[in-house]
Amino acid sequence: MKFKDYNLAKPIKEQLEVLGFNRPTDIQFRALKHILDGEDVMAVAQTGTGKTAAFVIPMLHHLIVKKRGVYDGIRGLILVPTRELAKQISNVVSEIGAQTNVKVLGLFGGVEQDLQIKSLKKGVDILVATPGRMFDLISQGFVDISKLEIFVLDEADLMLDLGFNKDIKDVLKKIPKNRQTLFFTATIDKKIKSLAYDTVKNAIRIQISPKNPVSKNVAHAVAFIEMDDKRFFLENVLKEYPEQKFIVFVRTKVRAERVVAAMERVDLKAEALHGGIEQKERFAILDRFRSGENTVLVTTDVACRGIDIPDMDYVINYDLPDNPENYVHRCGRTGRGNKTGQALSFCSDIEIPLLEAIEEYTGEEVERYHINSNEYKDILEDTDSGDNNWQKLLRDNNSEEWEDK
């Protein structure tokens, strides 16, 4: 079934064609009809499956077909856990709704609120928000969700991980009981189920969860590399594929800055992204990465959930994550929708327990990328940093002495 076969408003169909959206992904196919019919939906779908469009498309259709009455408040609310996700999803709404008159606003902290208040005063149909800034502006009288028609809770599992359970319940107290609710989560456990039952009613349950939660579109492997040698192997990969786009995951903010500095020493441009950077600059860094102005992003797990980068070629797990679930989300930054991608992890001796935890979580062994001793030594010596040049000089001198004899 193609998007043109759905009973969607003409401006949405035409814009989907412009965007190259021809056939729905699995989660879109299974959710669209139910959402268009006005039913509550609880969906469990791994990252990169296209779930954002699964709720944005029918939400836009609803707001076009059902005209706004005298109520001038928010009609559709998408609640998300992070500022980056709020900005990203608001952009998706704008793109898919480009040929409609539906007005959307991404509302989040870390930036001045004056422009946000100005937009709210002009009128907003769909609000994509993080809880903190939204409650702040509700208390100031600038946000009204009292007659909300559609409520979307996205990345519900991360919302709970970040401690937003009370905020979600506070939202439920402020919105009408007679509403449509769409509940999306990447993972499911007792806490998530409890929250879902409090949020949706008589919901259609959809679960897209293969045995191995890593997307089938992603080829992922691990290479065993000593901790102090990782920068040389990253340099090698980046120089081997200079036209590709890389997102490199590290464990800490300090480590992100150090890896960027190490790449700069060998004339490789990279940018760091982590929670210690001001929000405005974080958005600018992501924009440069999306546009291709910068093709290497070194980041902490602040970017492992929900962030959609067009044409992401490679994920490098420079450090393995402490939480095996984040491995799945990291790998999900590539191979999104119907595209394919690759993920390579660097595993040191001390990280082997983390690798074992990942394999237990996914239920499968991660493919081993074997590097023989000669290849390993060549990569260490083939660096422009100067750190290992003495080894190369010794090897070359020994070769010359052997030839002289």
pLDDT tens readout for residues 30-81: 999 999 999 999 998 876 778 899 999 999 999 999 988 888 899 999 999 9
The reply to whether 401 falls in a domain is no
Is residue 35 located within the same domain as residue 149?
Answer: yes
The reply to whether 260 falls in a domain is yes
The pLDDT-based confidence of 101 (bands split at 50, 70, 90) is very high
Is residue 197 located within the same domain as residue 230?
Answer: no
Rounded CA separation 226/379 (Å): 13
Is residue 38 located within the same domain as residue 123?
Answer: yes
Q: What is the pLDDT of residue 209?
A: 64
Tell me if 28 sits within 8 A of 208, measured CB to CB: no
The reply to whether 247 falls in a domain is yes
Number of folded domains that form the chain = 2
Q: Is the whole-model pTM more than 0.75?
A: no
Is residue 136 located within the same domain as residue 248?
Answer: no
Q: What is the pLDDT of residue 345?
A: 95
Mean pLDDT of the chain: 88
Is residue 36 located within the same domain as residue 116?
Answer: yes
Is residue 222 located within the same domain as residue 138?
Answer: no
Of residues 142, 197, 131, the one with CA closest to residue 166? 131
The reply to whether 361 falls in a domain is yes
Looking at per-residue pLDDT, the higher value among 227 and 191 belongs to 227
Is residue 229 located within the same domain as residue 96?
Answer: no
Contacts with 314 (C-beta within 8 Å, 6 or more apart), sequence order: 237, 241, 244, 245, 246, 247, 334, 341, 342, 343, 344
Is residue 142 located within the same domain as residue 243?
Answer: no
CATH number, domain at 26?
A: 3.40.50.300
Rounded CA separation 145/139 (Å): 12
The reply to whether 392 falls in a domain is no
Rounded CA separation 72/64 (Å): 15
Contacts with 62 (C-beta within 8 Å, 6 or more apart), sequence order: 36, 38, 76, 149, 150, 180
The reply to whether 393 falls in a domain is no
| One-letter amino acid for residue 103 of the chain | K
Looking at per-residue pLDDT, the higher value among 313 and 77 belongs to 77
Domain that holds residue 363: 218-371
Is residue 185 located within the same domain as residue 264?
Answer: no
